[in-house]
Each structure stands twice: as structure tokens, then as C-alpha cells.
Chains A and B, each alone.
Chain A
């Protein structure tokens, strides 16, 4: 793959290594943040043009250390093009972006984690369609599916940026080896393993935690989406997400029950925390801990679980903790995975805004950001070797593999009334004891008629 994009690819890598050297220099010397301004190879950024006094505001959900890495990854772009980036990250992004757009203080660029939210903003007429330049770049670097996530009613608005892979099942390799447990390759094997572990009685097979403030319940939607995609294939999955089939279609009910067989069984959950209902009060970021403490064997969570382990935990196939992909139900059907990602929508069409939007959609950016660690991208121009961990590398390879069936997290695609509300609360009620039929019916009823 890499050899195809000869020029376009080699230059950024060169630029990157120079900038990394520059960074290293900074680290040792202290606060000289402008260090390397003369050295940074600006050739890679020529195509974006140069600007004077240009500032672009960017708003997203990304905060903390990941925000720092993000800012780091456009530092060279800023230096070479003169585009200053005013970045703001907030956990209240999902509600605030709508407030600001309506109030007339929208940022220039917003990084949307949910295509559903992006679509709502585009339909309300706030977003500017992406310029041809960005569109071409996305055609070149991304699959059609990804371009579609940023397309609303036939108009292409938002370029994809970063991605994550959902459906990993985390486990401790040493424990599996010691007990003689095999990593399952089909869902049935996973169920058998679950029974085995529960039968041995030493630890619960699973631990889970769905608590996430007002978003409580979302890790459960991931479970269900994984099951739907694997059990009924991408077509049914798409129909379900777009409401071509009702939310409580018998096939979807089946998938709920498939997950329920594991999650709603006190024998199988919730190692280290208590009974089934303790899933609801366990913060999702802490839910994996018992895996390390040998209180449970497996924990289902996306690739970003890697940052939730305590500092110093070695995530590797022979390390403290590792993950396998939730196995297919029928191994012959190949790999199908769900995941999430971010899309860059523009509220302004000034040239410098479009330049940054283009850069964020480019392979150069993907490489620069992935090299910082803790993130992956589905950009085809991304060099898997830049990944900072085995898991990142594995995830990138999965995303880039043409045989992989990839589907975006369904709840992020559904309308907000479902995907960010009734689906979550449905999962909560379901774990709290309501029947699958009851829950899926309630969610179906909440689907907005349009």
C-alpha cells in the first residue's frame, strides 16, 4: 500500500521525523517552543497555501492528554502555513455545539464523534459543504463508507479524521495460559468458554460497567451492535440503523437476547463488582480493572480501553493485558467489526478553514497524530508502523484490510432521540430487569416520525 503514494507519503514522514527530532530537542532544552521553526520541512504543507493573521477555531469532545496530542499533530501545519488554531475541547460538546450554532457563535471547525449529530447540524443548515479539494482528498484516502458518514442528503460535508475499533474483548494472556483457556474464534466458543470459567468458579467470566454520567448505557449499545452485525450481517445492520426495519424486529430481539445470555446472568457477571445490576453503577472506565485483579476473565470494550488501564500496564500479546476481537458467529462469514470515528464539519468557508479541514483529512495528519500514540485512523495512507502500540497497529490493519466489513457504531448514526437517549435508557432498563420485548418496543416507540 505504502509504495503507491510515493511522493505524497515520503515527504510527510520526513517532515514528521524532523519535527519529532525538534520536539525531542525542546523536551531537553525546556520551554523553547519555537525550536525547529527554521528546520521544519514546510514542503509538505505547500499545497495548503500560506496565510497571515489567520486563526481557525476548532471545537471537539477531545480533552486532556489526547487534546495535547491533537494540538501537537497540527503544530507543524500551523508553523508552515501561518494558520493559528484556537482549540477548545469540552465534554459538553454534544449539547453545546447545537447551542452555539443556533446562537451564532459556532466554531469554524467542529469535530463530530457522531454522524447523527453531524447530520442534524447539516440539515439545520449550519454546516458548509466541504470544498472540492477536501472531497478529492477523502476520495483518495478513505473508503466510500467513510465518505458516506460525512455525507448528508447527497451533499458531502465532513471529512473523517480519527477512528476507533469497537468490540475488543480484553483478557490477561497469562491467566488464559495458566488455566488452559483458548481465545475463542466463534461466538459459540465464547459462550462455551464463559460456561467453563463460570463452572470453575474461581472468577466470574465477565465484568462490565455501563455507568457514564448522562450517557450511561452506551457500552451496552456497543455489545448489541456487535451482536447484530455478526449475527445478521451488514445489510440488516444498515436497515436497523436507518429504521428500514423496526428497532424491535425479531432479528434484533434475537441479538439482544444473545448478549443478554451473557450480561443478564448473575453466574457470568459482574466479577469484582457484584450482581448483574452492578453493571449499571460501575463506571465504564473502571470496569476493566478486575481483569487485571483476576476477579473476572474478560471485558468487552473498544480500542480506547487501552488508556483506561492503570499507568504502566503493558498492553501486548505477551504483556499484562491483551484483547481479541469479539468473534464472528459464523467463522466463514469473515471479519465484521464496528467502530467509531470523528468527522470534521465546517461552519465557515474561509480559505484558512478549508486548508485546515483538508489537512485534518490528509494522510499527513493521520500519520502525525498516530505517531503521538493512543489514536488510530482509517486513512489508507496511514503507515501502520507508526502505531505506538501493538493494539493500535492491529486496529489499523483491521481497518485497512479490504476484507474487513466495517460498520459505524449504530447508536451514533441513529437520530439523537434514539441513539443518544432512548437506546441508552433502554439498555439501562434492560440490565435493571426489563424484558427484551419491553425495552425494544419502548425504543421503537421513541423513534421520531419524520
Chain B
């Protein structure tokens, strides 16, 4: 770094900027940009690398399961960020300055410490099914039995099985939302809170008029991050249903096609669709960035 500082004055700024950005940008160029370009080309090729034009995309939008896969992805990407962020936020607010805050945080954070595969194991256990005449080993079915209901195959019945998978993702991501938002809440200057108190604001008013606006930046970061994470989710689907029973999502289908079915072209085409789906998030963040610049 010091070397960078000693560069000639005229070009010094430029050299410094380059020095700061170059390592990251070079790594990104070879590790992500190049693969992305390669994937784009791959999406136009067939099983043996021959050029097939848009065949892979045609395949994607003509096979009956494709619409289900796309529909599921949309459900995931709407529900997970929304619920994980709201529950995380609510929890962060509820436990703020509460007794045993650290322990309470740790409990909700714990799922983050379990890999997706581990989470898959845990929830397969929760949803496990045994026939009515057997002892249940799955908690949910045991609860149904206690209430005199027939045990149910939670993961087999479309379309609600997608919701049961989504619950797992929410379970994991809430910890992330909660921790980040809690830090943001702690960052709200005490003076503002004091002022609101003197004005006689109720808890809800404070939450709406102070907490939310102040942590809006963090909130957007959290929602954005979870949204992108959700679009890319494949471990949960892979470990719990392997995309069967109409639960597949684009990322899982991509993996299956590229690595199991030996159809890298189709996998690449799905990867491009994934990219298109995240564009709105990117555009929104870009606009926000521009707005921030204007304010400054």
C-alpha cells in the first residue's frame, strides 16, 4: 500500500484507484466474468458441443415441467425474502435490549451455522412420514396424530410441498436478517430515540417513523442478499426432494441438467434465465445508488 502512496503526484490518484481495485477485479474477471461468457455461449450448444441456436431455450419453454419450475422459483423468490426479513426484523425489535438478548439471538441464528445439507437432514426428520399404524418419527406428523388426523406426506403433495421447502429456507435466512438488522437498530443514534420519546410516540409509531427509515439501507441490503441467495438455492431442494413432485426450481434443474443428465447446454440456458430473473433486483439497486449520489 505504501508503494502505491509514493506514486508520482500527477497520476497518483489513478494508480491508487487501480491498486485498490485491480486485485478484486482481476479475480472476478477470470473467476466469474469469463465463466459467465462461456455459459452464455454454452447455452447455444448441444450435448456434443455443436451449435444449436435457441434449441435449449425452446426445450425449456415447451416441456411441461418448465412452467412448474419457473412458477416455483417465483414463489420462492417472493416468499423467502419477504418472510425471512419480516420475521427477522420483528425478532430483532422484540429482543432489543431484552434480558438474555445474546442467547435469544443465538437460538435464531443457529440455523445459519448448519449447512444447507444439514438443514435438509433436520427438516427431512421434521417432515418424516410413517403409516398411520406405525410410530411417527417426524414431528409434524406426530402432531397431526395427536390431533387425531391421518399422517400426511408433506413433501409429496404438490403444490403445498413447495411451501414446506420454502419454510426451510426461511428458517435459515431469518438468522441472517435478524443479525444484520439488529446491528442496524443498535446503530440508531440515541438522540433520535430520545426525541421521539419526548414527543410521546408509541412503540409502533417509533418503529414506523424512526426504526424503519433509519435502517432502510440495511433492510434493502438484507432483502437483496436473501433474494439472490434464494434464486440460487439448490441444496435444499436437492437434499429434500431432488426436485421431484413438482418442487424443482431453476437452480436445481440447472444442476441436474448440466451435471447429471449430461446436457450442459440446457443447464447453461437455465443459468441465463436465472440471470434474467435477478435483473430487476440489480436495476432497483442501481437506481437506488444513483438516487443516493444525487442526495450527496
Interface residues of A (CB under 8 A from B): 94-95, 98-99, 120, 213-217, 270, 272-275, 277-278, 280-281, 415-417, 420-422, 425, 428-429, 432, 448, 450
The CA of A95 and the CA of B263, in the complex, are separated in Å by 12
Contact A281–B156 (Cβ < 8 Å): yes
The CA of A421 and the CA of B65, in the complex, are separated in Å by 14
Contact B245–A450 (Cβ < 8 Å): no
What's the least CB distance linking A412 to chain B, in Å? 13
Q: Which residue of A lies closest to B128 (CB)?
A: A281
10 additional A-B residue pairs with CB within 8 Å, beyond A95-B260, A274-B151, A448-B263: A216-B242, A216-B244, A217-B244, A272-B134, A280-B244, A421-B256, A425-B244, A429-B244, A448-B47, A450-B48
Contact A277–B260 (Cβ < 8 Å): no
Chain A residues within 8 Å of B243, by CB:
214, 425
User: CB-defined interface of B248-266 with A at 8 Å, one 1/0 digit per residue?
Assistant: 0000000010011111000
8 contacts between A and B (CB under 8 A): A98-B262, A99-B259, A214-B243, A274-B134, A278-B131, A281-B129, A417-B262, A420-B261
Contact A95–B242 (Cβ < 8 Å): no
Contact flag A428-B261 (CB < 8 Å), given A275-B131, A278-B153:
no
Contact B261–A270 (Cβ < 8 Å): no
Q: Which of A99, A421, A432 contacts B156 (CB 8 A)?
A: A432
Chain A residues within 8 Å of B151, by CB:
274
Q: Which of A214, A273, A416 contacts B131 (CB 8 A)?
A: A273
What's the least CB distance linking B60 to chain A, in Å? 14
Of residues 254 to 286 in B, which have CB atoms within 8 Å of A's CB atoms? Answer: 256, 259-263
The CA of A302 and the CA of B131, in the complex, are separated in Å by 25
Contact A94–B260 (Cβ < 8 Å): yes
The CA of A422 and the CA of B260, in the complex, are separated in Å by 10
Chain A residues within 8 Å of B134, by CB:
272-274
What's the least CB distance linking B226 to chain A, in Å? 25
What's the least CB distance linking A92 to chain B, in Å? 9
Contact flag A277-B153 (CB < 8 Å), given A213-B242, A214-B242, A216-B244:
yes
The CA of A81 and the CA of B62, in the complex, are separated in Å by 57
Q: Which residue of B lies closest to A212 (CB)?
A: B242
What's the least CB distance linking B116 to chain A, in Å? 13
Of residues 112 to 138 in B, which have CB atoms within 8 Å of A's CB atoms? Answer: 128-132, 134
Contact flag A420-B245 (CB < 8 Å), given A274-B134, A277-B156, A281-B156:
no
The CA of A99 and the CA of B259, in the complex, are separated in Å by 8
The CA of A415 and the CA of B151, in the complex, are separated in Å by 38
Q: Is the interface of B mostly helix, strand, loop or mixed?
A: loop
Chain B residues within 8 Å of A213, by CB:
238-239, 242
Q: Which of A95, A280, A448 contacts B259 (CB 8 A)?
A: A95
The CA of A320 and the CA of B212, in the complex, are separated in Å by 66
Chain A residues within 8 Å of B256, by CB:
214, 421
Q: Which residue of A lies closest to B248 (CB)?
A: A425
What's the least CB distance linking B12 to chain A, in Å? 41
Contact B259–A274 (Cβ < 8 Å): no
Contact B130–A280 (Cβ < 8 Å): no
Q: Which of B128, B132, B238 contacts A214 (CB 8 A)?
A: B238
Q: Which of B48, B130, B155 contacts A274 (CB 8 A)?
A: B130
Chain B residues within 8 Å of A420, by CB:
260-261
Contact A416–B262 (Cβ < 8 Å): yes
Q: Which residue of B lies closest to A271 (CB)?
A: B131
Q: Which residue of B lies closest to A92 (CB)?
A: B259
What's the least CB distance linking A416 to chain B, in Å? 4
Contact B262–A415 (Cβ < 8 Å): yes
Chain B residues within 8 Å of A216, by CB:
242, 244
Q: Which of B47, B129, B130, B261 contacts A421 (CB 8 A)?
A: B261
Chain A residues within 8 Å of B132, by CB:
274
Chain B residues within 8 Å of A273, by CB:
130-131, 134
The CA of A99 and the CA of B129, in the complex, are separated in Å by 36
User: CB-defined interface of B41-85 with A at 8 Å, one 1/0 digit per residue?
Assistant: 000000110000000000000000000000000000000000000
Of residues 132 to 181 in B, which have CB atoms within 8 Å of A's CB atoms? Answer: 132, 134, 151, 153, 155-156
What's the least CB distance linking A61 to chain B, in Å? 14
Contact flag A278-B129 (CB < 8 Å), given A120-B262, A416-B260, A428-B245:
yes
The CA of A417 and the CA of B155, in the complex, are separated in Å by 24
What are the 10 tightest A-B residue pairs by CB atom distance, in nearest-first order?
A274-B131, A416-B262, A214-B242, A95-B259, A417-B261, A421-B261, A428-B244, A281-B129, A420-B260, A416-B261
Contact B47–A450 (Cβ < 8 Å): yes
What's the least CB distance linking A442 to chain B, in Å? 9
The CA of A423 and the CA of B145, in the complex, are separated in Å by 35
Contact B131–A270 (Cβ < 8 Å): yes
Chain B residues within 8 Å of A432, by CB:
156, 245
The CA of A417 and the CA of B267, in the complex, are separated in Å by 12
The CA of A94 and the CA of B261, in the complex, are separated in Å by 11
Contact flag A214-B260 (CB < 8 Å), given A272-B131, A428-B244:
yes
Q: Which of A270, A272, A278, A421 contacts B260 (CB 8 A)?
A: A421
What's the least CB distance linking B67 to chain A, in Å? 15
Chain A residues within 8 Å of B263, by CB:
417, 448
Q: Which residue of A lies closest to B238 (CB)?
A: A214
Q: Which residue of B lies closest to A214 (CB)?
A: B242
Chain A residues within 8 Å of B131, by CB:
270, 272-275, 278
Chain A residues within 8 Å of B259, by CB:
95, 98-99
What's the least CB distance linking B232 to chain A, in Å? 17
Q: Which residue of A lies closest to B256 (CB)?
A: A421
Chain B residues within 8 Å of A217, by CB:
244
What's the least CB distance linking B53 to chain A, in Å? 15
The CA of A59 and the CA of B82, in the complex, are separated in Å by 44
Chain A residues within 8 Å of B245, by CB:
428, 432
What's the least CB distance linking A291 to chain B, in Å? 15
Q: Which residue of A lies closest to B155 (CB)?
A: A281
What's the least CB distance linking A266 to chain B, in Å? 10
Q: Which residue of B lies closest to A417 (CB)?
A: B261
Q: Which residue of B lies closest to A295 (CB)?
A: B134
Q: Which residue of B lies closest to A216 (CB)?
A: B242
Chain B residues within 8 Å of A277, by CB:
153, 156
The CA of A421 and the CA of B244, in the complex, are separated in Å by 11
The CA of A213 and the CA of B156, in the complex, are separated in Å by 14
The CA of A2 and the CA of B11, in the complex, are separated in Å by 84
What's the least CB distance linking A390 to chain B, in Å? 31
Chain B residues within 8 Å of A94, by CB:
260
What's the least CB distance linking A245 to chain B, in Å? 22
What's the least CB distance linking A437 to chain B, in Å? 15
Chain A residues within 8 Å of B129, by CB:
274, 278, 281
The CA of A213 and the CA of B260, in the complex, are separated in Å by 13
